[in-house]
Amino acid sequence: MNLKFSGLLLFLVLVFNATAQVDNNTSLMTIAGKPVTVGEFMSIYQKNNVKGEALDKKSMDDYLELFINFKLKVLQAEELGLDTVSSFVKELDGYREQLAKPYFTDEATLNRLVQEAYDRKKIDLRASHIYFRVKADAGPQDTLNAFKKAKEARERIVKGETFENIVMEYSEDPSAKDREATAQHPFMKGNRGDLGYFTVFDMVYPFETAAYTTGNGQISQIIRTDYGYHIIKVTDRITALGEFTVAHLFLGIPKGASAADSAKVKTKIDSLYALLKAGAKFEDLVKTNSEDKGSSAKGGVLPRRGVNRLMPEFIAAISKIQNVGAFSEPVLTPGYGWHIVKLIERKPIGTFDEEKAELKQRVLKDSRAQQVTSAVIARIKAEYGFTENAKAIEAFYTLVTDSIFNGKWDATLAFQKSDMMFKIGATTFSQKEFAQYLDVKQKRTDKKDIRIYVNSMYSDFVDESLLKYENGFLEQKYPDFKALMKEYRDGILLFDLTDQKVWSKAVKDTVGLQDYYLKNKFNYMWGQRVDASIFTLKSPSLEQKVKNFIKSNLKEDDILKEINSDTLKVLSVESGKFSKKDNSYIDTVAWVPGISKDIMVKDGIVFVNIKKILKSEPKTLNEARGLITADYQNYLEKEWIRSLRAKYPVVVNRDVLAKIK
Contact indicator for 132, 374 with CB cutoff of 8 Å: no
The amino acid at residue 383 is: E
Output the pLDDT for position 22.
77
The sign one gets for the Cα dihedral 657, 658, 659, 661 is: positive
What's the mean pLDDT in 1-30?
A: 55
Q: What is Dmax (Cα atoms) for the chain?
A: 110
CB-based burial, 347-377: b 16+ in 10 Å, e otherwise: eebeeeeebbeebbebbeebebbebbeebbb
Task: Give me the percent of the chain exceeding a pLDDT of 70.
Answer: 95
Beta carbons of 400 and 412 less than 8 angstroms apart: no
What is the rounded average pLDDT of the residues 562-573?
A: 91
Dihedral of the CA atoms 652, 654, 658, 660 (nearest 10)? -30
Does pLDDT of 12 surpass 60?
no
Q: Is the pLDDT of residue 53 over 70?
A: no
How many degrees, rounded to 5, is the angle at CA 210 between CA 206 and CA 215? 170
- Reduced 3-state DSSP string for 330-374: CEEECCCEEEEEEEEEEECCCCHHHHHHHHHHHHHHCCCHHHHHH
Q: Torsions phi, psi of 179, nearest 5?
A: -115, 120
Residue 10 pLDDT > 50: no
Please give the average per-residue pLDDT across 477-504, as a whole number.
94
Q: How confident is the model at residue 7 (pLDDT cuts 50, 70, 90)?
A: very low
pLDDT tier for residue 219 given thresholds of 50, 70 and 90: very high
**Over the stretch 336-351, which tens digit does the pLDDT of each residue have?**
999 999 999 999 999 9
pLDDT at 565: 87
Confidence band (pLDDT; 50, 70, 90) for 60? confident
Residue 47 has what pLDDT? 77
Share of the chain above pLDDT 90, in %: 84
**What average pLDDT score do residues 203-207 get?**
97
The 10s digit of each residue's pLDDT in 103-139 is: 999 999 999 999 999 999 999 999 999 999 999 888 8
In this prediction, residues 479-484 reach a mean pLDDT of: 91
Residue 353, pLDDT above cutoff 60: yes
For residues 503 and 633, is the Cβ–Cβ distance under 8 A?
yes
| Domains of the chain and any CATH numbers | 1-79+479-524+625-661 (1.10.4030), 123-239 (3.10.50.40), 243-348 (3.10.50.40), 385-474 (no CATH), 526-614 (3.10.50)
Identify the pLDDT of residue 616: 93
Nearest to 321 by CA among 210, 425, 238, 256: 238
pLDDT above 90 for 444: yes
Q: Which residue has the higher pLDDT, 185 or 143?
A: 143
Mean pLDDT of the chain: 92
Q: 290 and 249 in contact (C-beta within 8 Å)?
A: yes
Among 47-51, 197-201, 625-629, name the one with the lowest average pLDDT. Answer: 47-51
**Using one digit for the tens of pLDDT, what is the confidence trace for 304-317?**
999 998 999 999 99
The mean per-residue pLDDT over the stretch 487-512 comes to: 94
pLDDT for 44 equals: 82
Pick the range with the lowest mean pLDDT from 104-118, 174-188, 458-472, 506-520: 174-188
Q: How far apart are CA 313 and CA 332, in angstroms?
A: 7
Q: 378-412 pLDDT, tens per residue?
A: 999 999 999 999 999 999 999 999 999 999 999 99
pLDDT at residue 188 tops 90: no
pLDDT at 88 over 60: yes
Say whether pLDDT at 1 is over 90.
no
Range of 251-255, 447-451, 610-614 with top mean pLDDT: 610-614
The string of DSSP letters for 576-635 reads EEE-TTS-HHHHHS--SSEE---EEETTEEEEEEEEEEEPP-BPPTTTTHHHHHHHHHHH
Count of all residues that appear for the chain in the document: 661
Mean pLDDT (whole number) for 33-48? 87
Query: Which pLDDT belongs to residue 18?
Result: 35
Q: Is the pLDDT of residue 608 over 90?
A: yes
Per-residue pLDDT for 20 more than 50?
A: no
Please state the pTM of the whole predicted model. 0.75
